[in-house]
Amino acid sequence: MLMLLELLKDGRFHSGEALGAALGVSRSAIWKQLQHLEAELNLPIHKIRGKGYQLAAPLVFLNAGEIEANAASLAWPVYIYDSIDSTNAEALRLVEAGCAAPFLVLAEQQTAGRGRRGRKWVSPFAQNVYYSLVLRIESGLRQLEGLSLVVGLAVMQALRELGVQGAALKWPNDVLVGHKKIAGILLELVGDPADICHVVLGIGVNVNMQQAAEVDQQWTSVQLEAGSAVDRNYLVAQLGLQLQSHLERHNASGFGELQEEWERNHLWQGRAVSLIAGVNQIDGVVLGVDHRGALRLSVDGVEQIYSGGELSLRLRDDS
């Protein structure tokens, strides 16, 4: 099927006869493969008698050479998959297999993409960016402090470079445009964080997605915000450059170096919120974050500090 998709990716009409000749199969076999493409990859295909078959929109596949051409200073090996359960899961498997970090895992599609708190990350084929960068952590817990917030800053800046000027941050791991989610971050550790370990920086960005009935929250995409389709290879390159720059600052000076910048770009700074921790709810006003990236809330006039992977922040109805 992917060989057929390679022929169709230009978005032009191709006759069944020409496609069959190129692949050495019958026209009926081409028809069956087209049905599978529509069903399995959710790719709409126009079928017009006398003209042939055409993808509803052209496709540009992820390509390591094109990514490198747009970000020559990055020296990370890149592993690209057509379809995989999860780029984070594959990154962890590669760590276990002894693959030397840093390295990057990308996929055209995820069949079991996941976000924070076990939520499903909808991952349509060749529309978005599913990105997992693996780092080796040798300087202990200090190198991990505020790391997810640093990654958020890098993602936000990359999106702004591509024309999404409204991109801003929501503690701890989301990038929003207004009330709509455009990107999410999931960090996973393997090894001893007090000694030597690896961390997977998992990033999902809605790039050219224009509809997704499965998403259970408000969302948007780079294309919807910028008004035109985006070259995902260029986006991956820009994301890598931003991550490299922000991680270098973080490694040199800790999260404190980036704390003020993060707070300036926090969409809910000064807002009335509810912090959800399991069945418990804490109401307060966002003061900012501390030098470790923990949330600072004013609760009944008293500053409280909250951190942890299972916390969820929501705007209060009266905010």
Residue 191 φ/ψ region, left for φ over 0, alpha for ψ in the -120 to 50 degree band, beta for the rest = left
- Of the candidates 235, 237, 44, the one whose C-alpha atom is nearest the C-alpha of residue 125 is 44
- Of the candidates 152, 132, 154, the one whose C-alpha atom is nearest the C-alpha of residue 78 is 132
DSSP 39-104: HHH---EEEETTTEEEESS------HHHHHHH-TT----EEEESSBS-HHHHHHHHHHTTPPSSEE
Q: CA-to-CA distance for 80 and 131, rounded, in angstroms?
A: 10
Q: Is 116 annotated as a binding residue?
A: yes
Q: Is 111 annotated as a binding residue?
A: no
314 is catalytic: yes
Q: Which of 181, 232, 249, 264 is catalytic?
A: 181
Q: Which of 47, 119, 314, 316 is catalytic?
A: 314
Contact 148, 293 (CB under 8 A): yes
CA distance to 11, 23, 26, 47, 133, per residue, from 15 (Å): 13, 12, 12, 10, 41
Q: CA-to-CA distance for 312 and 292, rounded, in angstroms?
A: 18
Residue 123's contacts (CB-CB under 8 Å, 6 or more residues apart) are 107, 109, 110, 111, 113, 130, 204
Q: Is 119 annotated as a binding residue?
A: no
Q: Is 32 annotated as a binding residue?
A: no
Q: Is 87 annotated as a binding residue?
A: yes
Q: How remote is the C-alpha of 124 from its chain's centroid? A: 12
At residue 180, what are phi and psi to the nearest 5 degrees? -105, 135
Instruction: Tell how many helices (H) and how many strands (E) occur in the chain.
Output: 9, 14
Query: For the chain, how far is it from start to end, CA to CA, in angstroms?
Result: 50
Three-state DSSP class for 154?
helix
Q: Is 233 annotated as a binding residue?
A: no
180 is catalytic: no
DSSP 219-271: B--HHHHHSS---HHHHHHHHHHHHHHHHHHHHHH-THHHHHHHHHTBTTTT-
Q: Which of 116, 120, 136, 264 is catalytic?
A: 116
Q: Is 63 annotated as a binding residue?
A: no
181 is catalytic: yes
Q: Is 115 annotated as a binding residue?
A: yes
Which residues are known to be catalytic?
116, 181, 314
Binding residues: 86-88, 110, 114-116, 181
Binding residues for biotin: 86-88, 110, 114-116, 181
